[in-house]
Structures are given as structure tokens and as C-alpha cells.
Amino acid sequence: MPDAPQSLRLTTPLPLDSGGELAAPTIAYETYGELNADRSNAILICHALTGDQYVASTHPITGKPGWWARMVGPGKPIDTDRFHVICANVIGSCLGSTGPASVAPDGQPYALRFPVITVRDMVRALVGLLDGLGIERLYCAIGGSMGGMQALSLAANWPERAARFLLIATTARHSAQNIAFHEVGRQAIMADPRWNGGDYYAGEAPDAGLAVARMAAHITYLSEDGLTEKFGRRLQDRPDGTQGAKSFGFDADFQIESYLRYQGNGFTKRFDANSYLYITRAMDYFDLADEHGGRLTDAFAGTTARFCVVSFDSDWLYPTSESRHMVQALNAAGAPVSFVELSAPFGHDSFLLDVPALDRVVKGFLE
């Protein structure tokens, strides 16, 4: 079991890549397992776009198990009998860390007055959290998807803060295709009249736009084979009990339509539309080579850490070629790095699902 929900307020303003700063942001986090006497067994898990700090504990809104409960816990690949696990909600999000829905110093929600942040800004806040917790050097920093971007950013900008980095289903640079999908989602939110220029906290939220954004994004987290296997062209049972019949209208005739509507609507219950805008923007801006003078290798110059890079053969969002690119850069920087492409049918979200080979890789790397 985790400790009670925890948060830490940074005591100084957080400088941002945009040139601005965030006044004393709050970082909400969860911990699992005991920190040992010499503080050498801490693992930081960084979450993906819509993830949160509830990595292995019940989500306070959905009531569902933590998003990596299969991976984190006593005797699990990230073994909390051995490691002290920390997982924090990124700034810009909406599960307790400071974000656009938070109250600004003037007493009103930030909304679009919240500054545009980068992945490096998120990590700067995480480093502030580690400082506050008195953890100088992590045993390992781990992340999938945007979590992997954070781990990469930590490796590049604060290399002394971790001895190992485990990067899963991620990339060192957001591609044009990924920026394009994010832009579709943002436009769906902004086209919802309830979005109201981001100023909706006193009224109804732009759930219709946010649901469409999630539906479009969710497709990118899956794979064609996975969709065919799970739904194919099968028809959805209708609310009136009719089975296997087309409506000759625009109901959710196909199971995949029904599924996407369900995922889209469910998402609006646990996520803030403005946070979605800010976090997707941070991901789009992520380009580690560009941050380090144009050569990815230079981002890792002088690192003494060990790296493990994992990709999935069905992930077309962050394909294996992007992982290879990271591995080549790490090799060129002289870093010890192991790399594996795992076979799994679930697309990008494979890192969240039942892929026993991933469990073995994670456990093996931590040993």
C-alpha cells in the first residue's frame, strides 16, 4: 500500500524554458516501499501523457487499479520490497500538481494564463521534488512514452541524478505525425464552444471536444492487428437489444465505434481539457538533440549511467527506428546501453498491458 496522498510545494519559483517561471508549484506524488538508510534504493517512475502518480494505487476518480499495478508492488518486477518507488504527477496535469486548473496567485484558475511548459520543465520540477525528499541519486529513472521523454531529459540535463535509465516505447523527438495527431486533438477541444478560450472552470467543461481528442489519440495507441483481433467489423448490440444489425444512421453500429466513444467519454471524467492542451504541446516541443546543439549524442556526453531501451514491434507512434536512433546516440556517447524490441500486438499501449517479456526485461535491468 502507498502512503497517504502526498504533495510537496517547491519553496522557490520554478524557472521555465519559455523564460517565465511558475511561482512555488505543488508536486503531488505517491511513494511505495521503504527508502533505505543510505537513500540508494529510490526509483522514479515518470508517467505518460494522461497518467498520474497513482502508478500502483487505486485511482481516486475512476476507482481502478493503478496504471502499472502489474509492474510495481511486492515481488513484482519493480519490487517494492526492495525499492522505494516515487511517482509524481507532472506539472501542467490535473491530479494534484500545479496545472491550468490550479488557482493562480490572484485567486482565479490559471486557465490559459498557465505558462506553456516543456518536458524539461516537468523534469526540473521532479528534480525539485527529489531535492525536497533528500534523494540525491536515484537507483533508476523509468518511463514509458512521455515518461520515457522525462527520463531522457533527466539523463541529458541532470545525469548525476540517476545511475540507470529505463526508456520504454519512447522517442528523443516528437515526429511530424505525432505533432499532427496532437493538433487534431487540440483543435477538437478548442472547437467545443464550452472551451470558451480555456475559461470554463466556473461552468461546464468542453467534454465533447476532449472526448473526440481522446478518441483520435486512443487509435494511435493501438495497432491495426490488435483492433482487427479485438473488434474486426463486428457490430455492436444496440441499446434496444437488437443484435448484429446496422442502424442505417449514425449510432455506434460497429463495436470499435462504441469502444472509442466509451474511452472518450470515460476520459473526460478524469482529465482536464486545458491540461491536455498543455501536455500535448510539451510533448510536441520535445526534441532532445535540438536542446543540445543539434546532435543527440551530445545530449549524453560524459554520462556514467547505464541505459536500457525497449520498443514494441506494433508501436507505430514511437516505432523501433526511433529507439534505434537513441541507442546509436548513446553508443556514440560511450554509454553502456542494452536494447530490445519486444513483440506484442497491442501497439504503443503495449507498455501498459500484459507483456510478460517486458516484465522480464524490467526485472533483469533492475538486478
Ligand X SMILES: N[C@@H](CCO)C(=O)O
| Residues placed in the known binding site for substrate | 214, 349
Give yes or no: 292 in active site: no
**Closer Cβ to ligand ACO, 129 or 168, answer by number:** 168
Mapping DSSP to helix (H, G, I), strand (E, B) and coil, where does residue 234 land?
coil
Given candidates 139, 181, 259, 278, which one binds ligand ACO under the rule CB under 6 A?
259
Task: Tell me: does residue 122 bind ligand X (CB under 6 A).
Answer: no
CB of 74 to ligand X, least distance (A): 25
Task: Tell me: does residue 48 bind ligand X (CB under 6 A).
Answer: yes
Residues 222-241 that bind ligand X (CB under 6 A): none
- Judge residue 203's burial from the number of C-beta atoms within 10 Å of its C-beta, 0-12 exposed, 13-18 middle, 19 or more buried: exposed
Task: Tell me: does residue 25 bind ligand X (CB under 6 A).
Answer: no
| H and E: helices and strands count for the chain | 11, 12
CB of 227 to ligand X, least distance (A): 15
Task: Tell me: does residue 100 bind ligand X (CB under 6 A).
Answer: no
Task: Tell me: does residue 286 bind ligand X (CB under 6 A).
Answer: no
Given candidates 41, 97, 171, 236, which one binds ligand ACO under the rule CB under 6 A?
236
Residues 197-216 that bind ligand ACO (CB under 6 A): none
CA 335 to chain CA centroid, nearest Å? 25
What span, in angstroms and rounded, lies between the C-alpha atoms of 297 and 26?
A: 33
Residues 144-173 that bind ligand X (CB under 6 A): 145-146
What span, in angstroms and rounded, lies between the C-alpha atoms of 42 and 291?
A: 27
Phi, psi of 341 (to 5 degrees): -100, 120
Contact 350, 313 (CB under 8 A): no
Give yes or no: 145 in active site: yes
Of 97, 116, 162, 172, the residue nearest 135 (C-alpha): 162
What is the grid cell recorded at 26?
Answer: 505543488
Instruction: Give the Cα-Cα-Cα angle 139, 124, 352 (nearest 5 degrees).
Output: 60
**Closer Cβ to ligand X, 46 or 305, answer by number:** 46
Task: Tell me: does residue 271 bind ligand X (CB under 6 A).
Answer: no
- Per DSSP (E only), the strands in 145-243 are 164-168
The interface region with ligand ACO, picked from 24-32, 166-174, 289-297, 346-354 by CB under 6 A, is 346-354
Given candidates 284, 291, 322, 349, which one binds ligand ACO under the rule CB under 6 A?
349
* Residues making up the binding site: 214, 349
Give yes or no: 207 in active site: no
CB of 51 to ligand ACO, least distance (A): 3
Task: Tell me: does residue 50 bind ligand ACO (CB under 6 A).
Answer: yes
Task: Tell me: does residue 51 bind ligand ACO (CB under 6 A).
Answer: yes
Contact 45, 54 (CB under 8 A): no
**Closer Cβ to ligand X, 133 or 317, answer by number:** 317
Task: Tell me: does residue 302 bind ligand ACO (CB under 6 A).
Answer: no
What is the grid cell recorded at 151?
Answer: 527520463
338 strand-pairing partners: 308
What is the grid cell recorded at 228?
Answer: 482487427
Contact 284, 184 (CB under 8 A): no
Maximum Cα interatomic distance, the chain, rounded to a whole number of Å: 67
Q: Taking CB within 5 to 8 Å according to partner kind, which of ligand ACO, ligand X, none is near residue 104?
A: none
What span, in angstroms and rounded, lies between the C-alpha atoms of 366 and 362?
A: 6
Given candidates 40, 157, 196, 255, which one binds ligand ACO under the rule CB under 6 A?
255
Phi, psi of 334 (to 5 degrees): 80, 15
Task: Tell me: does residue 102 bind ligand X (CB under 6 A).
Answer: no
Phi, psi of 137 (to 5 degrees): -135, 125
Given candidates 52, 284, 291, 349, which one binds ligand X under the rule CB under 6 A?
349
One-letter identity of residue 237: D
Given candidates 2, 28, 44, 50, which one binds ligand X under the rule CB under 6 A?
50
Positions in the binding site for ligand X (CB under 6 A): 48-51, 145-146, 221, 348-349
Return the active site residues. 145, 315, 348
Positions in the binding site for ligand ACO (CB under 6 A): 47-48, 50-51, 67, 236, 255, 258-259, 262, 349, 352-353
